Amino acid sequence: MHLPTCSSRATFAAALLLCLTACAPRVPVSSSANSAPPGPPNKYADATLRQIATAQDERSTSTLLPFLERPEALYRREAALAFASVQDRTAVPALARLLSADPDASVRRAAAFALGQTADTTAGQEALAARITTESDRAVRRYVLEALGRSTSRASFETLVRLPAPLLQDTSAQVGQAWGLYRAGLRGITSDAAVTRVVQLLAMPTPYRARLAAANTLARIRNLNLTPFAAQITKACQTDPDYAVRAAATLALGKVNAPEVPATLAALARRDKDYRVRLSALRAMTKAMYVPVKEAAWDALADSEEHVALTAAEFFLVHATGEPGTLFLDKANKTAPWRVRATLLAAALRQEGPSRADIRTAIEKRFAETSSVYEKGYLLKALSEDPAAYPFVEQATFASGQPVVLGTYGIEALVAMRNQASFPADKRAAFAQALKKAISSGDVALMGTAAEAIRDPKLALGTELPGTAFLREAQRRLVLPRDLEAWQSVQLTIDYLEKKAPTAQPIAKAATHPIDWNVVQTIPVNQKAVVHTSKGPVTLVLLVEQAPGSVASFVQLVKAGFYNEKNFHRVVPNFVVQGGCPRGDGWGSSDYNLRSEFADLRYSEGAVGLASAGKDTESCQWFITHSPTPHLDGRYTIFAQVEKGMDIVSKLQIGDRIDRIELLP
């Protein structure tokens, strides 16, 4: 199961310690030894709250709506928050009434949050826009402004951009506006005036939460002309007191077309005290900057933080041209971290020249010598840079008796190789047959990846693989919901070849795996779990009151020993570390799905979320964020928070092991 990456491939940045907005709930803190006698472990001792949460899990709007009319503010608030996960637009009128008239500010805040999550661009947007000037509670207004960004249309966007003068200096409104502009930008809605306002919000003494939103807006929104704001962005990169703001502003600086930018990025890559800013400087470097920044990138290969060294190697892989391949081969042979080394080998093989065959042979030799299946996989990725390695990669992909992880890397390498402009025409038929073999293999990763390639219009494989009978036969052997990703990939390919509209993804109903309330009611509010990894322990606080179904599932899997001896199979520097896959390659699942639980939480440093293949498809895989990643907010369930061990999280690499997970008393 996957989540969006910071690269172009989507499979699939403390959240509560350095919360992105003042509205984000904090991790529960243990009470003192002199506190009153303990009560129920969590709020779900209340049968009415269990009923509301069950209706949320079942996506039952008809059951939830009456709770919005209850006399108790607690139940109105919880029902409103439930609609943030249900996201049924038929509930918008009722939520809008709560927002405009409920006497309790916490209920209005929940209604605003749910309206934003529902993203209704008509009635929901109108209700939010009307509340900007009439809302008396500053915290509620902050929610209203962010929610408006999630639902605004282009026609009404100026309402969010040009706030009334009295609100421009209100710090709470600044935070709400900044996040509203960010959310709108993610939906492709922005303007020159909006960018100007975002740059204003980037500057001190604007509150941290507004600066973070502003920096992420400039970094993440595409096609922005940021050159007029070079001085302001540079100042934020160099002087903002918070690493997350500096890191995002540094990414934005890569969009500035100014002669001083390469030197600024080089200096940041060498000198910033936080590795995530150094890493962002390397990612911001472009091919056009290659000559003035390459020495800084070369120095970064020796950075004490492996994530920075890997990002430097990726810089050379993507941007180096005209270099002798032996330059990178020699450096790779002197590099200890295997992932950095394999990426440098890929960079070496990508360079044209007389040494290419020798480099390919050196990679194949290292493949034979290493015992690490993950390093072998990365070496297959490296070989994908040279179509002459096709026979070697194909043989490795389909070798019998090998770990499934190697086949996954291999099929991805074959597809990447086929996408090379230099892929020989006389090997295209063999590639098509390899995809057909992958479809018929019964392996979910081979099937899913091959199906995706078959429907890629750039590869034009329809004539070489006529008909869909072999796809339908393979699909019949898959088991839902366990094999959902592979099933859906094959189905989309069948639809593509038969020129039909895409089939909707089949979602398991709540009745197939309801929330186990007996388990939930035994989990304390501040339940801790220690993930014992091969690099050291990481302590999590489980958020049972915000994600009861997800936490109950996690606790049951932990007690069953499900996570023992599993690997972290995916690590994206300054994004996430992901594990819990029973296959070890990201394609594994349990035999049930969970429903998404989108509580009022934020993805900041150390947030722990469930990976998924889309809403309501969560299972056993989970990830930890290295730093704030607000584009994941409201899209992936947050069920825990790192309390201790972020230094360990930052050291974890692909192939590191989860020895066991321990639930503390």
517 and 448 in one domain? no
Residue 612: DSSP 8-state: B
d(CA 81, CA 109): 9
634 and 575 in one domain? yes
d(CA 424, CA 429): 10
* CB-based burial label for 34 (10 Å; 0-12, 13-18, 19+): exposed
pLDDT of amino acid 14 = 33
Query: For 172, left (φ over 0), alpha (ψ -120 to 50), or beta?
Result: alpha
Asked whether the predicted pLDDT for residue 431 surpasses 90, the reply is: yes
pLDDT of amino acid 2 = 66
Asked whether the predicted pLDDT for residue 503 surpasses 80, the reply is: yes
647 and 599 in one domain? yes
pLDDT of amino acid 3 = 63
619 and 532 in one domain? yes
519 and 502 in one domain? no
pLDDT of amino acid 40 = 87
CATH (domain of 153): 1.25.10.10
470 and 527 in one domain? no
Query: For 307, left (φ over 0), alpha (ψ -120 to 50), or beta?
Result: alpha
Helix (H) or strand (E) holding 254: none
CATH (domain of 535): 2.40.100.10
Q: Average pLDDT of 174-182?
A: 98
The amino acid sitting at 158 is E
Domain around 129: 44-189
635 and 532 in one domain? yes
Last residue within a domain, chosen from 189, 212, 228: 189
Q: What confidence tens digit (pLDDT) does each residue in 348-371 have? A: 999 989 999 999 999 999 999 999
Asked whether the predicted pLDDT for residue 24 surpasses 70, the reply is: no
Last residue within a domain, chosen from 484, 506, 528: 506
Count CB-CB contacts under 10 A for residue 273.
8
Q: Does residue 199 belong to any structural domain of this protein?
A: no
pLDDT of amino acid 119 = 94
Q: Average pLDDT of 497-514?
A: 94
Mean pLDDT, all residues of the chain: 94
Cα 638 vs. chain centroid, distance in angstroms? Answer: 12
Q: Average pLDDT of 278-303?
A: 98
Asked whether the predicted pLDDT for residue 488 surpasses 60, the reply is: yes
Q: Does residue 143 belong to any structural domain of this protein?
A: yes
Asked whether the predicted pLDDT for residue 21 surpasses 60, the reply is: no
Asked whether the predicted pLDDT for residue 49 surpasses 60, the reply is: yes
* CB-based burial label for 516 (10 Å; 0-12, 13-18, 19+): middle
* Nearest CA among 80, 106, 107 for reference residue 93: 80
The number of distinct structural domains making up the chain is 3
Q: Does residue 462 belong to any structural domain of this protein?
A: yes
Q: Average pLDDT of 445-466?
A: 94
135 and 95 in one domain? yes
Q: Average pLDDT of 378-388?
A: 98
The full 3-state SS of 148-211, as one line of letters, equals HHHHCCCCCHHHHHCCCHHHHCCHHHHHHHHHHHHHHHHCCCCCHHHHHHHHHHHCCCCCHHHH
* Nearest CA among 562, 650, 470, 575 for reference residue 12: 575
Helix (H) or strand (E) holding 658: strand 657-663
The contacts of residue 38 (CB under 8 Å, 6+ apart) are: none
Q: How do strand 566-572 and strand 576-579 relate by DSSP bridges?
A: antiparallel
The amino acid sitting at 573 is P
Last residue within a domain, chosen from 189, 211, 237: 189
Angle, alpha carbons 349-350-352 (nearest 5°): 90
Query: Bridge-partner residues for 409, per DSSP?
Result: none
User: How confident is residue 398, by pLDDT bands cut at 50, 70 and 90?
Assistant: very high
175: its two tokens: 């935070």
Q: How do strand 657-663 and strand 638-644 relate by DSSP bridges?
A: unpaired
SS3 content of the chain, % helix, strand, coil (to 5): 55, 10, 40
Asked whether the predicted pLDDT for residue 156 surpasses 50, the reply is: yes
534 and 476 in one domain? no
pLDDT of amino acid 331 = 98
The contacts of residue 52 (CB under 8 Å, 6+ apart) are: 64, 67, 75, 78, 79, 82
Whole-prediction pTM: 0.94
Question: CA torsion, points 346, 350, 353, 357, in degrees to nearest 10?
Answer: 50
Q: Does residue 234 belong to any structural domain of this protein?
A: no
Residue linked to tokens 């639809």:
495
* CB-based burial label for 373 (10 Å; 0-12, 13-18, 19+): middle
The full 3-state SS of 32-72, as one line of letters, equals CCCCCCCCCCCHHHCHHHHHHHHHHHCCCHHHHHHHHHCCC
656 and 526 in one domain? yes
Q: What confidence tens digit (pLDDT) does each residue in 268-280 have? A: 999 999 999 999 9
Asked whether the predicted pLDDT for residue 34 surpasses 90, the reply is: no
* CB-based burial label for 122 (10 Å; 0-12, 13-18, 19+): exposed
Q: Average pLDDT of 227-242?
A: 98
Q: Does residue 20 belong to any structural domain of this protein?
A: no
Q: Does residue 398 belong to any structural domain of this protein?
A: no
Buried b / exposed e over 51-79, threshold 16 CB at 10 Å, is bbbbbbbbbebebbbebbeeeeebbbbbb
Q: Does residue 54 belong to any structural domain of this protein?
A: yes
d(CA 296, CA 535): 29
Cα 32 vs. chain centroid, distance in angstroms? Answer: 36
d(CA 43, CA 329): 59
Q: Average pLDDT of 204-209?
A: 97
SS3 of 529, please? strand
SS3 of 473, please? helix
Residue 589: DSSP 8-state: -
Determine contact, residues 347/382, Cβ cutoff 8 Å: no
Q: Does residue 252 belong to any structural domain of this protein?
A: no
Asked whether the predicted pLDDT for residue 29 surpasses 60, the reply is: no
* Nearest CA among 628, 543, 627, 633 for reference residue 147: 633
Max Cα–Cα distance, the chain, nearest Å: 79
User: How confident is residue 12, by pLDDT bands cut at 50, 70 and 90?
Assistant: very low
Query: Bridge-partner residues for 644, per DSSP?
Result: 539
518 and 489 in one domain? no
pLDDT of amino acid 466 = 83
d(CA 543, CA 82): 16
User: How confident is residue 38, by pLDDT bands cut at 50, 70 and 90?
Assistant: low
657 and 520 in one domain? yes
Q: Average pLDDT of 119-140?
A: 95
* Nearest CA among 105, 102, 110 for reference residue 85: 110
pLDDT above 70 as % of the chain: 94
d(CA 171, CA 124): 25
Backbone CA torsion sign across 30, 35, 40, 44: negative
d(CA 357, CA 335): 21
